[in-house]
Structure 1
Amino acid sequence: MPSAERSSEGPSRRALWVLACLVLLVHALLLLGVTNPLQVHTAAAPQTPVVQVRVVPAAPVVRPAPRPVVPRAAPAPAVPPVSIPESPEQSPAEPDGVAEAQTPLAQASEASSTAVAESLSASAPASVPAVEAGTTLPLISLGALPPSRVLSYQLTGMDKGLTYHASGELRWQHNDTAYELTLSVRAFLIGSRQWRSVGQIDATGLAPRRFSDSWRHERAAHFDREQQRVVFSSNSTPAPLQPGAQDQVSLYVQLAAAMAGEPERFTPGTRLQVQTATVRDAVPWSLVLQDTERMTLDGQSLQVSRWVCQPRNQYEARVEFWAAAEQSWLPVRIRITQASGSYIDLLWRGTEPLPALPVGTDTTGRHRAS
């Protein structure tokens, strides 16, 4: 039978192939020296080295020996201070108004009120013989007074290195017997300041009755002609009233009238001495007339005469003003220079006529004409 014959032949070829492969695998393992193929070899953990620590005992602390106590010596008796006599020479005191001159408008007032001169030899031309310093203003006729008008100015100033600008005007009104005169300065964000003079007109020209300075508050000088003195609202010592005395703004018009009345008298080198009142004092101002010069203002070429007031000491200001015949000898420029170098400079920029001062106007200035 066929099935019996196949079983008697022995194992199949497939079984023989499997057996042969196993034999070859065993021989290969023996040749490679692998005894246990399933074992995982791990690196041995490193041994921790033994560190020997040697304890060194700290050095003993050596305390310094106590300092011997030295008995304190008894204090020496106090020596009384030696009094040194003061030197009879004292430093000159600053003039009044130095603290007030911290603002530009205050500077204008203090410069004007302290511009008094005694020695003007350095300003007078050497080639022209000057009239004696004691010469006073001549008598002034009514017709020589400038007509009523208002002069406008452009102001440029410098204070503590800063330049500023403002506007100003000189308002002049009069009739046959009385006058009003105001010099005012206005600056943006600062306000205005004015110097005002009121009084009568007589054979000597202007005869001031009251001069005032309005800035923050008003201060004034009163010309008491009955008692022949000048009295100040600041309680300064009254000053004797001299003939022909003026205040610091009426002086401009008085000089203008004098130059219009006798122009031949006012040659370069002419010197005048006029008692001039401020709100603090009334002392002689010495003025000297310089050479004529030409100046262009408001587009016009003008021939002008320059007056100079030199300061009396190192603290006072230098005052200069230029007068032109075309403006009835009223000032077309006013410059005031402080000892510190600060200055204000007013330049004329136009003129407008004004009506005459109404008759009966109060010469104390309480009534102001429109």
Structure 2
Amino acid sequence: MMDDIVATAVPEPATVPAPTPPQVADVVVEPATAVAVAPPTEPRVAKPASGPTVPEGSLPTNATLSYDVKGRAKGFNYSAGGTLSWQQTGNTYKADLEISAFLLGSFQRISTGLITEQGLVPQRFVDRRRNNEKTAVFDRDAGVIRYSKKTPDAALLPGAQDQLSVMLQLAGLLNARQQLVEGDVISVPVSSDSDAEVWRFEIGAVETLRLPAGDVTARRLIRQPRKPNDKTVEVWLAPNLGRLPVRMRLTEPNGDFMDQLLEDMPEMVSEPNPAQENPKAVP
């Protein structure tokens, strides 16, 4: 499957801003660094941009995406179908991802919340697997994320997302900050259905993906595991589709994975200056 991917880097050199002390912010962008002559250290954190994090019009427009899903679970390969429904109504949003596989049953994630000048503000996250449902409620008055199943609360950090909304928030961030380059890192607090932690997405190259929907140009972002049992999270955002996710891949430490590949081109087409992310021609 991976042989179908043609990675093509954008010829835009990364610059190194003057180092600044680490700061806590709703969105943190860590610049790419030059080749080090000393032992590698954690990249310094750039000052957050002033003003809205995700200005109005930066989020992708409403769309329903269908995916061809390939994966492996407990050593068995499987194929499935999936859909992602992304809807904005006024200042509210709903994202609904559903995957159904023969023998494995259905898997659904739903994120609902508000849209502000900071982008998505989740209020409730639902994870359904067969007959089991878990929820995360973002209680902003109390400053905590409350989980079902008697799981302890987690601190609600500024800019926190859930595991579904973060994919759309990243799209809005890249639409709003087109100066971001390969090697930059975006740090976002992310909640699952049972805990929360900061995810660090490294911005990768622009690639031409050979998908069931056809050839699509997309920017790859990757979250590497940072502790035992962490999963690798990869997402490819297409500028010609408002940076909606045309591919999403989750890989477990044991090698199990789920790879969602865009099956059909959606009717909507939004182009927030995609010329800045055209890949090199492949000889």
TM-score computed with the length of structure 1 as normaliser: 0.58
Q: Deviations over 1:96-126 (max 9, x none)?
A: xxxxxxxxxxxxxxxxxxxxxxxxx9xx787
The alignment of Structure 1 onto Structure 2 pairs a total of residues equal to: 231
- Which residue of the partner structure matches residue 197 of structure 1? 111
Distance 1:350 1:258, change over 3 A: same
Distance 1:207 1:320, change over 3 A: same
Distance 1:301 1:212, change over 3 A: same
Q: Give SS of 2:168's match.
A: helix
Partners of 2:134 and 2:148 within 8 A in 1 = yes
Q: Give SS of 2:166's match.
A: helix
Partners of 1:234 and 1:279 within 8 A in 2 = no
Match among 44, 54, 61 for residue 132 of structure 1: 44
Match among 157, 161, 168 for residue 71 of structure 2: 157
Give the residue type in structure 1 aligned to 2:78: Y
- Which residue of the partner structure matches residue 236 of structure 2? 322
Partners of 1:142 and 1:176 within 8 A in 2 = no
Match among 136, 156, 177 for residue 221 of structure 1: 136
Match among 250, 267, 290 for residue 181 of structure 2: 267
Distance 1:278 1:268, change over 3 A: same
Give the residue type in structure 2 aligned to 1:324: A
Between the aligned partners of 1:181 and 1:298, the Cα distance in structure 2 is: 23
- Which residue of the partner structure matches residue 22 of structure 1? none
Structure 2 residues without counterparts, runs of 5 or longer:
1-29, 37-41, 269-283
Between the aligned partners of 1:289 and 1:160, the Cα distance in structure 2 is: 30
Distance 1:295 1:211, change over 3 A: same
- Which residue of the partner structure matches residue 211 of structure 1? 125
1:42-191 to 2 correspondences below 5 Å: 132=44, 139-191=53-105
Give the residue type in structure 2 aligned to 1:344: M
Between the aligned partners of 2:127 and 2:194, the Cα distance in structure 1 is: 11
1:166 CA drift (Å): 0.4
- Which residue of the partner structure matches residue 335 of structure 1? 249
1:190 CA drift (Å): 3.4
Between the aligned partners of 1:332 and 1:278, the Cα distance in structure 2 is: 22
The structure carrying a bigger helix percent of its residues is: 1
Between the aligned partners of 1:325 and 1:331, the Cα distance in structure 2 is: 10
Between the aligned partners of 1:159 and 1:126, the Cα distance in structure 2 is: 39
1:133 CA drift (Å): 5.2
Partners of 1:133 and 1:272 within 8 A in 2 = no
Instruction: Report the more deviating stretch, 292-301 or 179-188.
Output: 292-301
Distance 1:352 1:300, change over 3 A: closer
1:263 CA drift (Å): 1.3
Instruction: Report the more deviating stretch, 245-254 or 183-192.
Output: 183-192
- Structure 1 runs (4+) greater than 4 angstroms displaced: 124-128, 133-138
Give the residue type in structure 2 aligned to 1:157: G
Distance 1:170 1:341, change over 3 A: same
- Which residue of the partner structure matches residue 242 of structure 1? 157
The percentage of aligned residue pairs carrying the same residue is 33
Distance 1:131 1:306, change over 3 A: farther
Distance 1:292 1:125, change over 3 A: farther
The structure carrying a bigger strand percent of its residues is: 2
1:132 CA drift (Å): 3.5
Q: Deviations over 1:137-189 (max 9, x none)?
A: 86112211111111110011123432110011111000221000011111124
TM-score computed with the length of structure 2 as normaliser: 0.75
Q: Give SS of 1:211's match.
A: strand
Q: Does 1:256 align with 2:171?
A: yes
Q: Deviations over 1:280-311 (max 9, x none)?
A: 11111111111222112235322211111111
